[in-house]
Chains A and B, each alone.
Chain A
Amino acid sequence: DVKVTQSSRYLVKRTGEKVFLECVQDMDHENMFWYRQDPGLGLRLIYFSYDVKMKEKGDIPEGYSVSREKKERFSLILESASTNQTSMYLCASSSPGYRYYEQYFGPGTRLTVT
């Protein structure tokens, strides 16, 4: 059974803190993604990675960075958290081969920045 796990379901942080969100997949997928979901704005891509140590900016990368040191793990970093980064963060993975359009999502991390 395919699985994407995220380190926390709920997180509360203070403004200015450095925040790490971790994502692990067990499907040996090359592609991994970080999205945020906000009411009325759908899913917005923050960053994605198509290989270890490779990354590309998505649609809203400002204020975020990522790290992919191992194939199965993709981390999202908020360098200095701000209240406008309060959101649901979703990690996903996919394979570039057959059914490459099928992304597998983790359960999400609800981050609140106060």
Chain B
Amino acid sequence: DQQVKQNSPSLSVQEGRISILNCDYTNSMFDYFLWYKKYPAEGPTFLISISSIKDKNEDGRFTVFLNKSAKHLSLHIVPSQPGDSAVYFCAASPNAGNNRKLIWGLGTSLGVNP
């Protein structure tokens, strides 16, 4: 039973436009939500996080929005660049009582076309 769901396996956008990657979750006890980025033949790298008590976090071209009532978060990339082409994983961290494991989505493959 997937607690973190990324319903779009892939997404294609034009360079310079906005990319929006979506993620849904089922457990209200998560305290942090994360986005990781993965290039082929490399390990994932941490991209951005958001605390469950916030609704927005911004880091340069990357913004994550959290809608707790809908149990939904999204990653916005503006403007998209060809180097952003990668697989993006949404992940969630349970509360501090069990803070070692992350719960991962299946990933969304983003392609940014020049």
Contacts and interface: CB of A to CB of B under 8 A. Distances in A.
A46 B107 CA distance: 18
Interface of chain B, helix or strand or loop or mixed? loop
Contacts of B91: 101
Interface residues of B, number: 22
Contacts, number: 59
B32 interface: yes
Interface in B27-75: 32, 34, 36, 41-46, 49
Interface of A: 4, 9, 31, 33, 40-45, 48, 50, 58, 90-92, 94, 96, 99-108, 110
Interface of B: 9, 32, 34, 36, 41-46, 49, 89, 91, 93, 99-102, 104-107
28 contacts: A31-B100, A40-B106, A41-B106, A42-B89, A42-B105, A42-B106, A43-B104, A50-B100, A90-B43, A90-B44, A92-B43, A96-B99, A99-B49, A101-B93, A101-B99, A102-B34, A102-B46, A102-B49, A103-B36, A103-B44, A103-B46, A105-B43, A105-B44, A106-B43, A107-B41, A108-B41, A108-B42, A110-B41
